[in-house]
Structure 1
Amino acid sequence: MKVVLVVDDEEALLDVFSSVLSELGHTVLSAHAGDEALGLAQAHQPDLIISDHMMPGMTGVEFLRSVRGDERLADTPFILVSAAQPQGAHEANAYLPKPVSLETFERAVQEGLRASSRKRDSQREGAPLTQAPENGLNLARAEMLSWVSHEIKTPLSSARLNLEMMIRHLGSGANEAQRRRGAVALQQLDRMATLVSSVLEASQLADGCIKLQREPCELKSFLQGVVGYWRDTRPDFEFVLKLPSEAVIAVADAERVRQILNNLVSNAVKYGGASARVEITLERSPGRALIAVTDLGKGMDASELPRIFDRFHRAEGSTGQGHGLGLYIASALAQLHGGTLQVRSQRGEGSTFTLSLPLSH
Structure 2
Amino acid sequence: MSLVLIAEDEEALLEIFAQVLEDMGHRTLRAQNGEEALLLARTTPPDLVVSDHMMPRRTGVELLRALRADPRLETIPFLLLSAARPGGLEEADAFLSKPVDLDTFEAAVQQVLRSRPVADPREVAMTAGDRTARSGGAAREEMLNWVAHEIKTPLSSARLNAQMLLRKQGERGSADEKKCSEAILRQLDRINVLITSILDATSLSEGKVALQREPGEFAAFLQEVVQDWRELQPRVDFTLTGAEQRVELSFDAERVRYILNNLLSNAVKYGGEARRVGVTLSLTPGLVIVQVRDWGVGIPASELPNIFDRFRRADGAGGHGHGLGLYIAAALARLHGGSLTAQSMLGEGSTFSLRLPRSSQGA
TM-score, with structure 1 as normaliser? 0.93
CA spacing shift, 1:171–1:280, aligned 2, 3 Å: closer
Matches within 5 A, 1:74-223: 74-116=74-116, 120=117, 122-123=118-119, 125=121, 128=126, 130-131=128-129, 134=133, 136-170=135-169, 174-223=173-222
Tell me the secondary structure at the aligned position of residue 169 of structure 1.
Answer: helix
Tell me the secondary structure at the aligned position of residue 35 of structure 2.
Answer: helix
Q: Give the Cα–Cα distance (whole angstroms) in 2 for the partners of residues 101 and 127 of structure 1.
A: 17
Give per-residue Cα distances to partners, 1:146-191, cap 9 Å, x unaligned.
1001000000001111121122223766332222111111111111
Q: Give the Cα–Cα distance (whole angstroms) in 2 for the partners of residues 92 and 227 of structure 1.
A: 33
Give per-residue Cα distances to partners, 1:225-252, cap 9 Å, x unaligned.
2122222222222222222554322332
Q: Give the Cα–Cα distance (whole angstroms) in 1 for the partners of residues 313 and 127 of structure 2.
A: 27
Cα RMSD (Å): 1.9
Q: Give the Cα–Cα distance (whole angstroms) in 2 for the partners of residues 81 and 89 of structure 1.
A: 9
The equivalent residue for 1:272 is 271
Q: How many residues align?
A: 357
What code does the residue aligned with 1:221 have? A
Q: Give the Cα–Cα distance (whole angstroms) in 2 for the partners of residues 127 and 258 of structure 1.
A: 15
The equivalent residue for 2:304 is 305
The equivalent residue for 2:239 is 240
Given the alignment of the two structures, is residue 293 of structure 1 paired with residue 310 of structure 2, yes or no?
no
CA spacing shift, 1:187–1:129, aligned 2, 3 Å: farther
The equivalent residue for 2:60 is 60
Give per-residue Cα distances to partners, 1:201-222, cap 9 Å, x unaligned.
1111111111112232321121
The equivalent residue for 1:358 is 357
What code does the residue aligned with 1:18 have? A
Q: Give the Cα–Cα distance (whole angstroms) in 1 for the partners of residues 333 and 184 of structure 2.
A: 34
Residues 85 and 125 of structure 2 are in contact (CA less than 8 Å); yes or no, is this contact kept in structure 1?
no
The equivalent residue for 1:227 is 226
The equivalent residue for 1:322 is 321
Q: Give the Cα–Cα distance (whole angstroms) in 2 for the partners of residues 321 and 37 of structure 1.
A: 43
CA spacing shift, 1:6–1:175, aligned 2, 3 Å: same
CA spacing shift, 1:123–1:155, aligned 2, 3 Å: closer
Q: Give the Cα–Cα distance (whole angstroms) in 2 for the partners of residues 274 and 196 of structure 1.
A: 31
Tell me the secondary structure at the aligned position of residue 279 of structure 1.
Answer: strand
Task: Give the C-alpha shift of residue 13 in structure 1.
Answer: 0.6
Q: Give the Cα–Cα distance (whole angstroms) in 1 for the partners of residues 227 and 128 of structure 2.
A: 28
CA spacing shift, 1:73–1:276, aligned 2, 3 Å: farther
Tell me the secondary structure at the aligned position of residue 163 of structure 2.
Answer: helix
Residues 129 and 213 of structure 1 are in contact (CA less than 8 Å); yes or no, is this contact kept in structure 2?
no
Task: Give the C-alpha shift of residue 74 in structure 1.
Answer: 2.5
Q: Give the Cα–Cα distance (whole angstroms) in 2 for the partners of residues 17 and 332 of structure 1.
A: 36
Residues 203 and 209 of structure 2 are in contact (CA less than 8 Å); yes or no, is this contact kept in structure 1?
yes
Residues 271 and 296 of structure 2 are in contact (CA less than 8 Å); yes or no, is this contact kept in structure 1?
yes
Q: Give the Cα–Cα distance (whole angstroms) in 2 for the partners of residues 130 and 330 of structure 1.
A: 20
Residues 52 and 80 of structure 1 are in contact (CA less than 8 Å); yes or no, is this contact kept in structure 2?
yes
Q: Give the Cα–Cα distance (whole angstroms) in 1 for the partners of residues 344 and 338 of structure 2.
A: 20
Moved more, 133-142 or 123-132: 123-132
What code does the residue aligned with 2:227 have? G
Matches within 5 A, 1:1-20: 1-20=1-20
Task: Give the C-alpha shift of residue 25 in structure 1.
Answer: 1.2
Q: Give the Cα–Cα distance (whole angstroms) in 1 for the partners of residues 253 and 96 of structure 2.
A: 19
Give per-residue Cα distances to partners, 1:316-336, cap 9 Å, x unaligned.
224451101000000111111
Residues 83 and 145 of structure 2 are in contact (CA less than 8 Å); yes or no, is this contact kept in structure 1?
yes
CA spacing shift, 1:352–1:74, aligned 2, 3 Å: same
Q: Give the Cα–Cα distance (whole angstroms) in 1 for the partners of residues 144 and 292 of structure 2.
A: 33
Structure 1 residues without counterparts, runs of 5 or longer = none
Matches within 5 A, 1:337-352: 337-352=336-351
TM-score, with structure 2 as normaliser? 0.92
